[in-house]
Chains A and B, each alone.
Chain A
Amino acid sequence: MSSSPESLFPLLEPLLTQVGKPIQYVGGELNARTKDWDSVAVRWVLMYPDAYEVGLPNQGVQILYEVLNERPDALAERSYAVWPDLEKLLREHGLPQFTVDGHRPVGAFDVLGVSLSTELGYTNLLTALDLAGIPLHAADRDDSHPIVLAGGHAAFNPEPIADFVDAAVLGDGEQAVGLVTDLIAAFKAEGSPGGRDELLTRLAETGEVYVPRRYDVAYLPDGRLASVTPNRDRVPERVRKHTVMDLDEWPYPKTPLVPLAESVHERMSVEIFRGCTRGCRFCQAGMITRPVRERSVEGIGRMVEAGLAATGFEEVGLLSLSSADHSEIGPLAKQLADRYADSRVSLSLPSTRVDAFNIDLANEFSRNGRRSGLTFAPEGGSERLRRVINKMVSHDDLISTVSAAYSQGWRQVKLYFMCGLPTETDDDVLEIATMAHDVIRAGRQATGSKDIRCTVSIGGFVPKPHTPFQWAAQAAPDVVDSRLRALRAAINSDRSLGRNIGMRYHDGKPSLIEGLLSRGDRRVGAVIEQAWRDGARFDGWSEHFSYDRWIAAAERALAPLGVSIDFFTTRERDADELLPWDHLDSGLDKQWLWDDWQDALTGYEQDDCRWTPCFDCGVCPTMGTDIQVGPTGRSLLPLVAKPSLLATVPAGTAVEQD
């Protein structure tokens, strides 16, 4: 495509004095790289379609940025959503969406890889395409435009954005970007025979890249899907997800990016395992990332050491979907805490479960830090509901865990819940108040002090594709809102307890739109485009989100098609309904998902296959994968002593500068 585009920075520079937080558009972060344009065959832009402060820490983007830039035949630069103040100026001055590394126009690259963690970034994707001069509709693009390739968890149902993306990759990206790069490099080396059309077919015929335009969708008279079928001979019926089997072979990011600008996570993250088989029925991440694959203790130790040296961060987060579940988390926590005992480095363990063992872990991790707050996620207010969602924590277990935490110096406990879960009643939600009251009572008893806090944080439940709840009816916003109002009243019904309890929640409206975008089919694309044309931007930000705008766009775009927003959200699906993502293979057996959905309705719990026999979810046999867990009994490798940077500076260097 076009060769060696010049940096747009001189043109952007005068605009940057007129926008908020200009540093986010400047690039040059510690560990950022810019490669020579002409030295490589395949050029990627990796875009996170949200603000820089959210997008920069994203692990997926950072991993692929390094993996691609390590290849001699590829380069990758990053781009983030620009805020409306800069969008306006870019349009006024005729400047395009740009990368923060080389400040090159996004439209000049071969591939625009978009990391979609949440559906609420879809409108920002449209802004970026439009600013980049890339036609919004994939069908309108020609050989001069990049291949727009979606990845991330939302890409497991890319149908709502099928009009706007050329292709999507499901699952782990490390090897998938290699496959796409190899394929494009070979195609270009051949002289790009057949142009864009042939390239997309080549991607599609691998069965590892989904090209929506190679599949035709038909609908039944009642609006449900009739069929999704390949429209070319070379294209397979189903597209499979990618699974990296040995995390130790992929120790990325090795040199995490350190922004100058403030970002949402001021810490370094090391992914200690991928996947989760706890089987929480609401959790899309747990379902689509199976099986569990652990990074070894030595591998984790090396990544922590190298990453700290490369960044200067003071906090290390041990990342995964349920970090305390690593088979060697106990020894790992103790060894890391010992290793960094004399430094100011603190360790954190996001995503933990409720049990006593985790208090010991938290104590270990807080040796270098403070014991401010512990977070637990019972998710459901009542034991009955927790059986439905398969997140079994008894009321008594929670209270005894919390008592232990308070008595060991922790001052605040945060509890996460969801509202609007399948089968939920008002009483289930009101039990959250009982639990919070009991937590405060237990804390006061354990500490003999009234000065303790409990925060209750509540999110609206959104049913997601590839989960047992993919058939469920989403709760309407007014149902969620009225339950939350009743809960607040119940919490405050006892003033003496209620004043130590904080309650955080959002209303149910954004959840409904997220639900539309999550379980929609290709017809929802028209809603996204309409909302975007009406001004929708940064929908994940409450100050930018407009429910009324989305509802108006949905009515306008869906009414001519004979469907409605309710059709996609509050409608329960039947066993025999063809779902928009059924041709996208996450490995989960649809019959198993349905059985698990039925088990949910009867409150029947499912164990974890790491510790009990396989329950045939289908992933391992379909994907040719296997659970990879310890314990291995190994320990951290000793650190190699290295002289400090200060000691390496020759003494007696001239002090005078000028």
Chain B
Amino acid sequence: MGNRKPDGPEFVAPVQKLRLQYAKRGRLRFCSHRDFARAFERSLRRAEVPMAYSAGFHPHPKISYLGAAPTGVGSEAEYLEIGLARRCEPEAVRAALDSVLPDGLDIVRAVDAQDCRPGTLAEQMHASLWRLELAADPAELAAAVDRLVAAESVPVERLTKDGRRTLDARAPIVSAQVRPMPAEGSVGASTEQQSGGVPVAAGNDTRAILDVVVRQVTPAVRPDDVLTALRTVAGFAPSQPPRATRLAQGPVDDAGRVTDPLRSTEVPVSRAAPEY
């Protein structure tokens, strides 16, 4: 008795890595990243995905998470990478995981890392396209956005675990676009231009959409920081908290558009974002 060895299964090096895109939709946007991670790791067991595990006394499944959308913010474009102990058809893994996760935590895509752009997954994540749905007059919002974009820098304060931090919410903004919320609250795929002037519909609609591309910086500038910046520069304050969604994240092309972080493709994913 005495010297113990790890009694779990032997350490297995991953033979295949899969990059997964997942969505946090509807009510489940209120789950935190920790909540998601627990649910995801359980779903790996329920779907019997042949995971590779780390070595040691407390082996952990090989999962690399990326910076997650904040709690309460929805997402169509969260990413992670898993290491498998035996080769699997990516789509089979995607479907199996998706079937055991609750509706609203949806595995959208699975791609073999070998078929992806070179480099790590994190290295692809240059910017995010966020959509904010706001209880506000589109013209008023557009005016506020113009002032934000015109500013050199807009320092905003955020309360973090380490106390108050000040960050510049202007510099990482690549582009921002305002339009009125389509009737019946359906925010379908947009065919409008992403750059250039801000199209504002006539009428007195009181709900507006802000699509904003923000570069990934440290500390990250998040949708609520953008909102704070709008209040700072223009006193803009919607009557209700906005509903925010990350529509895409990945490399940024020359036109300032967010592109697919998994595949090298000409099509900006912000155009191809699924309806929700």
Contacts and interface: CB of A to CB of B under 8 A. Distances in A.
Interface of A: 9, 13-14, 16-18, 21-23, 25-30, 258, 260-262, 266, 309, 311-314, 342, 344, 367-368, 370-371, 407-409, 447, 644-646, 649-655, 657-658
A653 B42 contact: no
B233 interface: no
B118 interface: no
Given A314-B45, A649-B96, A655-B111, A26 B27 contact: yes
Q: Count chain A CB atoms within 10 A of each CB in B72, B92, B95 and give the residue with the most.
A: B92
B58 interface: yes
B43 A22 contact: no
Contact of B89 (A26, A309, A651): A651
Contacts of A26: 27-28, 30-31
A192 B39 CA distance: 45
Interface of B: 1-2, 4, 7-9, 27-28, 30-32, 34-36, 38-39, 42-43, 45-50, 57-58, 71-72, 88-93, 95-96, 99-100, 102-105, 108-111, 240-241, 272, 274
7 contacts: A260-B105, A312-B42, A312-B45, A370-B57, A651-B89, A653-B92, A655-B89
Contact of B241 (A18, A262, A653): A18
A653 B45 contact: no
B31 A368 contact: no
Contact of A409 (B1, B90, B104): B1
Nearest to A652: B89
Given A258-B39, A370-B58, A649-B91, 16 more contacts: A14-B241, A16-B72, A23-B30, A23-B71, A28-B28, A28-B103, A260-B36, A262-B34, A312-B46, A342-B9, A407-B1, A409-B1, A646-B93, A655-B91, A655-B110, A657-B108
Given A645-B48, A651-B89, A658-B272, A368 B27 contact: no
B28 A260 contact: yes
Contact of A313 (B35, B42, B90): B42
Contact of A260 (B8, B31, B49, B50): B31
Nearest to B6: A370
A651 B92 contact: yes
A261 B241 contact: no
Contact of A646 (B27, B96, B110): B96
A28 B102 contact: yes
A40 to B, nearest CB: 24
B104 A22 contact: no
B39 A260 contact: yes
Contacts of A652: 89
Contacts of B36: 260
Contacts of B93: 646
A646 B88 contact: yes
A23 B108 contact: no
Contacts of B103: 28
A14 B4 CA distance: 53
B43 A653 contact: no
A452 to B, nearest CB: 13
B17 to A, nearest CB: 15
A21 B72 contact: no
Nearest to B267: A658
Nearest to A371: B4
Contacts of B71: 22-23
A17 B58 CA distance: 36
B98 to A, nearest CB: 10
A23 B42 contact: no
A409 B110 CA distance: 43
Given A28-B28, A409-B1, A644 B48 contact: yes
B27 A344 contact: no
B63 to A, nearest CB: 14
Contacts of A658: 272, 274
Contacts of B99: 645
Contacts of B49: 646
Contacts of A342: 9
Contact of A408 (B1, B35, B72): B1
| A-B CB proximity, top 3 nearest | A312-B46, A312-B42, A22-B30
Contacts of A21: 32
A13 B72 CA distance: 10
Contacts of B28: 23, 26, 28, 260
Nearest to B111: A655
B42 A311 contact: yes
A170 to B, nearest CB: 37
Nearest to B109: A657
B160 to A, nearest CB: 15
A104 to B, nearest CB: 15
B272 A260 contact: no
Nearest to B27: A26
Contacts of B102: 28-30, 260
B39 A653 contact: no
